[in-house]
Structures are given as C-alpha cells and as structure tokens.
Amino acid sequence: MEQTQSSPKPPSRVPNAKGKGADAGEPSASGSTPAPAEQDYPRPRTKAERRELQERQRAAKAAAKRNAGLVPPASAKGAPAAGAAKGGASTSASTSARGGTAVTAAAGRGVKELKPTPGAEDVGGHSHGLRIFSHFALQKIATHVAKGDVHPSIVQLGLMFSEFKICGANARCIATLSAFKEVIQDYETPPNNTLSRHLMTHLSTQISHLVSARPMSVTMGNAIRQLKLEISNSDIDLPEQDAKDELCHKIDNYIRDRIIIADQVIQETAMKKIHDGDVILTYARSSVVEKVLLEAWSEGTHFSVIVVDSRPMLEGKRLVSVLAAASIPCTYLLLPALGSVITEVSTVFLGAHSIHSNGAVYSRAGTALVAMLAKQHSVPVVVCCETYKFSEGVQLDSFTKNELAPVGDFFNSFPLTRPRDSLALKNRPNLEILNPLYDLTPPSSITAVVTEVGVIPPNSINSIPLALGRQPF
C-alpha cells in the first residue's frame, strides 16, 4: 500500500509547482508540461515503469526550464514584478491572519520557488551570491491602488509609510492606532452582523493595505493584536456607538500606558545613568533616547553627545538638530569613523525596533556594529525599549526578517560634494544594490535594557510578561 502511495507523489508534485509558476506568469512553455503528467494517470505498476516516468518528467521539466530561458525578456520582466507582488500579497494575507515572524518564511519559500527563472534573465549568469539574498523580497513603492474598501485615512497613512515620512517603531504604531480610531468611528455594522466579528474583517482589509505599503513593524503587530483582543471581548449587547467609543477609549489607554507613560518612566530611569562630564554616544535617531537626553539636560546635568549616523536613512541629522536646538554640545560623524572616537565615550544609548526573548535587539542597521565596538572597549551599552516592543520567538541573524530600502538616492543621503553620476545608484548587470534597514544585535553586546518595569540584563527579557502580570507568550 505504501509503495503505490508513494508513486503518485512525483506526478502530483510537478503540476503543483507548475501551478504556482503559472500564477506568477511563468512563460507559457510550462503550460504544456502538465499535459504529459496527466497522460500518465493510469499509474505505472512496476518499479522500473515508475522510475522511467520520473526520468521522463524530470527531462520534461529541464526542457521547460531551458525553453523558459530562451523566451524573450518581455515575459521575464513580467515574472519578477508578478513574483514580487505575489510575495507581497502572500505576506499580507498571512500577516493579517497571524502577524508573526513565521509568515515571512512562507513568503520566502514562495519567492524562492519562483526565483530561478526571474534571476536567470535579470542578471546574465546569476551566481550563488545573488540567490542568497533573494528572500529580501523588495516591496514595490507604487501600490496606491487600494484593494477593497480602504478608509481614506488608511490610504493616506500607507502613502506616508511608503515614502518614509513616518518612520520609527513608536511613531508608526501611534499613527496606525490613531488612523484606526477614525476607521472605527466611521464604521457601520452591516445588518445581520455583529460588530465584534465584522469589524475584524474590516480592519484586516485596512491592515493588508498598510502592509503592502511597507512591512508591518513589531510594534504595530503587537498593538493590532491587542486591539483585536479588545474587539472580540466587546460586549454584544452594547449599542454600536457605545461599543465604538469604548474601543477608541481602549486605544487611547494603550497609547497612553504602553507608549507615553512608559517613555516617561524610561526617561527617569535612564537619566540616572547620565552624570556630569559624560560623553554619551547614540546611533541614528531613537525617539526614546532623544527624550532621555533632553530630559537629562533640562535637569541640569552637563554632558556632551556624539551622534553616529549612516546611510541609507541618515536619521541622525534630525536628532542632531533637535539636540543642538536645546544647546546640548554635539559631535556628528558617520559610522566608519566610530573607531576614532570610541575611546572617549562613557556610555552608549541605543533604541530598538523590537527585542526578542533571548535578549537580541532588532534595530536600525548599524546598531550591531556600534554595540559590538563599544563592548570591545568596555563601554556600557544601554538599550531603551518599552515592553510593548517585545517580540515572541528568537531570531538568529539579521537575514530571517529584514526590509530593504528603495534603491537609489531615496533619502538624499549622499553628500553634495560627490557628483551623482559617479555613484552607483541603479542596479546594473553584475551589480546589485542592497540597503537593509535593520540588523540584529546579539545579547552579548548589550549591557542592560531599560524598560518601564526596570533595568534588566538582556537574557532576562523573558521575565517581562510575568512582571506585567500576564501569561508568558
């Protein structure tokens, strides 16, 4: 019985793969191959026949791939765009269902299966290296086409996300929740439906639009999960407007408790780590670290700040202008220059996008380098992070989940002294430009994490849910 069961697998596997390929618009040559597979439906009985069938299908698949390689580039251009869109669509569909990190693995698998054909035409003689980074599925910027019933404030928000006008984990979360408040107020339960069930599906459409603009941040994911919990717990008997008001009130409380007040507690705790005459180093721009520094300065402590910055986003410039406006003595330099100043630094303050249960910090690309070099020179590294940024699961390296910035001079981050045509701003044959936006700092490089429930060493991050009186995830 087992033997005959194993035989259908080869014929059924081939049409499946071809089916997915057909979805992404793989050239029509593949369409012809399922036909021979179907012809073999009267199953071969002997082992030799089965092996012969497998060989035939393998040869047919190889022939189809070769034909696909000869098909003119027009269809190939369709394939990568469709492939990327498909990758994005599958990400959004599954994200709205779970909003976890396991999703990107599925998207990655989907994209990897499509990858061989688009990669072959895109770059003549694609190599091992180009395939390695292929799972960084690049989001298309111009998805202004809203699918389904998307609220105008969500459309506006999606546009601002994709243009990076709102960036930073806290800012994005607050913006999303505020937009959701408007969505909820404008929502009307259709007849024969309950608010608690239908509102969820309505919100899912909004969420998929936001994700298609830019992958969701962990903060947004946690906040949305909490919101969905509140919606499902809302009382069925409440009149609609009351239920909506209660939800908006809960959203306000979430923002107030988990973000605003948490930030204030973190400010007061971290301020105690700054003493007179200190040289504080920070990287890029973290909203929490900015608040800590401003608060410490207004309390009268005299210190100076070194802001380290880097492409692609060059966010540190904004931080420098805020600190300089408050008359804090600042030094500004780019990341490669860090080696020359690290010997003078007393403490390093960093922000985080999210923090994992093993204590690894997922933050702006470049943070890992700063933390590593500081640790080497025995400079304490302090990460300021609210508890709502806690992300379940353990990420082992920066590849599992990352986002690429758009190629080219999107942020105007190149110096004016350098003529634009001497820079490589576009992909060329044999040259691909990658701008990862995030990286993972291992817990060994971090000295302490300041949260609103206290200052904890990185490997005790797991105890946060218990400290908040909740179930551990």
Question: Does position 416 bind other proteins by CB under 8 A?
Answer: yes
Which 295-334 residues touch other proteins, going by CB under 8 A? 310-312, 317, 320-321, 324, 327, 329-334
Q: Which of 3, 39, 241, 417 binds other proteins (CB under 8 A)?
A: 417
Q: Which is nearer to other proteins, 257 or 344 (CB)?
A: 344
Which 352-371 residues touch other proteins, going by CB under 8 A? 364-366, 368-369
Place of tokens 């380098």: 369
The token duo for 254 is: 């979430």
Q: Which is nearer to other proteins, 271 or 373 (CB)?
A: 373
Amino acid letter for position 384: C
Question: Does position 440 bind other proteins by CB under 8 A?
Answer: yes
Question: Does position 164 bind other proteins by CB under 8 A?
Answer: no
Q: Which is nearer to other proteins, 187 or 332 (CB)?
A: 332
Q: Which is nearer to other proteins, 93 or 123 (CB)?
A: 123
Instruction: Evaluate whether 289 touches 282 at the Cβ level (below 8 Å).
Output: yes
Question: Does position 419 bind other proteins by CB under 8 A?
Answer: no
- The answer to whether the bond into 415 is cis (omega within 30° of 0) is no
3-state secondary structure (DSSP) of residue 136: coil
Question: Does position 376 bind other proteins by CB under 8 A?
Answer: yes
What residues contact 329, with CB distance under 8 A and at least 6 apart?
304, 305
Question: Does position 400 bind other proteins by CB under 8 A?
Answer: no
Which 213-242 residues touch other proteins, going by CB under 8 A? none
User: What does the DSSP assignment read for 24-51?
Assistant: TT--THHHHTHHHHHHT-S---SHHHHH
Place of tokens 């800590």: 292
First to last CA, the chain: 43
Q: Which is nearer to other proteins, 26 or 122 (CB)?
A: 122
For residues 352, 452, 255, 316, the Cα torsion angle rounded to the nearest 10 degrees is: -30
127-156 footprint of other proteins as x/- string (CB under 8 A):
xxxx-xx-----------------------
Neighbour count for residue 467 (Cβ, 10 Å): 14
CB of 372 to other proteins, least distance (A): 6
CB of 81 to other proteins, least distance (A): 21
β-strand pairing of 438-441 with 361-364: antiparallel
Integer Cα distance of 415 and 336 in angstroms: 15
Positions that interact with other proteins (CB under 8 A)? 123, 125-130, 132-133, 310-312, 317, 320-321, 324, 327, 329-341, 343, 364-366, 368-369, 372-373, 376, 397-399, 402, 414-418, 422-424, 428-436, 438-440
